[in-house]
């Protein structure tokens, strides 16, 4: 295994029984607190995405912003943000999506992306994939091509990548 991935794994903290009994939460705050690990995560994402000639990075609120911002900056492309309803100050496009017990909604400023833009959707963690699927749909609504969805951590046993197929997924760490 790549030593850089080992470094990332060593800085992810397991928090048992959070947010409820039986869940083991993967906490990225120690990774963010380590300049070496944080830099490594961003560098690995940049290495993977630089050859793909992207037009924008689409980051999901809020932890996706942490990784999407530096990725966009290093690639020299715009960062476009996707947020929960009522958080963006301009006209928005929206997508409603289904949760386990109800629905939620995501928004992005209108005209954030152009027809044919090649984009990557970025978030910190892939669990069930609903948020990534909704974000990919939102980008598509603006005419963009979602090349891939990127994550620092993937909970592979939940099979979230199937939710937004045929868009491929890329994860630095899979549990």
Hey, which residues are catalytic here? 63, 100
Output the six-digit token pair for 122.
């970025």
Contact present, 30 and 11 (Cβ < 8 Å): yes
Q: In 66-175, which ranges are E strands?
A: 79-82, 92-99, 102-109, 118-126, 145-154, 169-174
Output the six-digit token pair for 68.
């999407």
Helix ranges restricted to H, 18-165: 29-33, 35-49, 63-75, 130-141
Backbone dihedral region of 52: left (phi > 0), alpha (psi from -120 to 50 degrees) or beta?
alpha
The residue behind tokens 């699927």 is: 133
Task: Tell whether omega for the bond before 19 is within 30 degrees of 0, i.e. cis.
Answer: yes
Residues facing 2 on adjacent strands: none
């Amino acid at each position: 295994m790549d030593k850089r991935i080992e470094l990332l794994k060593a800085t992810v903290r397991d928090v048992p029984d959070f947010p409820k009994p039986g869940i083991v939460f993967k906490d990225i705050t120690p990774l963010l607190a380590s300049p070496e690990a944080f830099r490594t995560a961003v560098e690995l994402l940049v290495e993977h995405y630089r050859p793909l000639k992207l037009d924008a990075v689409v980051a999901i609120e809020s932890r996706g912003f942490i990784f999407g911002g530096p990725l966009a900056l290093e690639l020299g492309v715009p960062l476009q943000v996707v947020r929960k309803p009522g958080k963006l100050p301009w006209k928005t496009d929206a997508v409603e999506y289904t949760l386990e017990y109800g629905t939620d909604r995501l928004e992005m400023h209108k005209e954030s992306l152009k027809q044919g833009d090649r984009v990557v959707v970025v978030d910190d963690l892939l669990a069930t994939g609903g948020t990534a699927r909704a974000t990919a749909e939102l980008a598509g609504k603006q005419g963009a091509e979602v090349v891939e969805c990127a994550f620092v951590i993937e909970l592979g046993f939940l099979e979230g990548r199937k939710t937004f197929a045929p868009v491929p997924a890329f994860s630095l760490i899979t549990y």
